[in-house]
Amino acid sequence: MHRTTLTPRTIISVLHPHRPILDFLLPAFTHHPTHFPRRHNATAASAPPSPQPPPSSYGQHDPQGAKRRTPLSPSQKSFLDSALRVNQAGELAATLIYTHQTPPLLRTHPHLRQLMHHMHAQEAGHFATFNAMLAHHRIRPTAMYPLWTAAASTLGWATGLMGKEAAMACTEAVETEIGGHYNGQVRVLVRWMREMEERGEEVGDEVRELVGTLKRIRDEELEHLDEAVGEGARLARPYRLLNRVIRSGCKGAIWVSERV
């Protein structure tokens, strides 16, 4: 599942040339992606930590000598609150887009079966990850849930009917926005971690693992982008119109979901 390619990184740095790409060069914890438990092991605060992969290096076990760990500030919490809500909504939409794109698309292009199933499976995994995070961190889902469900299903179905290129252009447009969106979140979290470390505080596992998860998911989104371009997204007609409409739709949806 977790394929590491360099392409997404190159792509995003092309997409956002003015932005620093330092966060890609970050230290080791990016290399062993720490997965949020798929089925959330929601334990009460007092319960012992789950017996899952103990990401060793950080000292939650040493009683003394542990660095101070400051609680997240209200503004940090509200950032995480809306960020994770938007992510869940986005993954809901992505899952539905592929679900509804696949049947009409496969009738004309059976060779896309594997690709579509692979992308859908990854989106379903992302969706499950954020669902579990919402339940675990007690974040409400977006109130626009039914609306996004309808919109994403329609978008997937319509672009699927329009043909392979349009479907791929849809994926390209969506993943461009989503990839940039995840990148923005990673950048913020990385800044927090740097600030915490500068103050000599310990970065909590929650934030650390979240950064790892977001990076992994972002890389997978950017793989989808690559695949879509490879399958001829740019040949869609009218490419520019589709690209512009879908991307502004994504931006609008993100804006709304951050708020309600």
Q: Which does 221 bind (CB under 5 to 8 A by kind): another protein, Fe ion, none?
A: Fe ion
Report the partner that residue 206 touches, choosing among Fe ion, another protein, none (CB closer than 5 to 8 A by kind): another protein
Q: Give the whole-angstrom CA distance, residue 50 versus residue 37.
A: 10
Q: Whole-number minimum distance, CB 151 to another protein, in Å?
A: 14
25 class by beta-carbon count within 10 Å (0-12 exposed, 13-18 middle, 19+ buried)? exposed
From residue 158 to residue 197, the character string flagging contacts with Fe ion as x (rule: CB under 5 A) and all else as - is ----------------------------------------
Which stretches of the chain bind another protein, using CB under 8 A? Answer: 39-47, 69, 71-72, 74, 77-78, 80-81, 84, 88, 103-104, 131-132, 134-141, 143, 145-146, 157, 161, 204-206, 260
Amino acid at 167: A
The binding site consists of 91, 123, 126, 175, 221, 224
DSSP three-state, residue 190: helix
Site string for Fe ion, 223-252 (x = CB under 5 A): -x----------------------------
Select from 85, 100, 126, 164 the one that contacts Fe ion (CB under 5 A).
Answer: 126
Q: How many CB atoms within 10 Å of residue 13? A: 14
Residues 127 and 84: their CA atoms lie apart, in Å, by: 11
Binding residue for Fe ion (CB under 5 A) from 12, 89, 93, 94?
A: 94
Alpha carbon distance 213, 54 (integer Å): 15
CB-based contacts of 178: which residues, under 8 Å, 6+ apart?
90, 94, 221, 250
Helices (H) and strands (E) counted in the chain, each on its own, are 7, 0
Least distance in angstroms from the C-beta of 144 to another protein: 9
Confirm if 189 and 55 have CB atoms less than 8 A apart: no
**Residues near Fe ion (CB under 5 A):** 91, 94, 123, 126, 221, 224
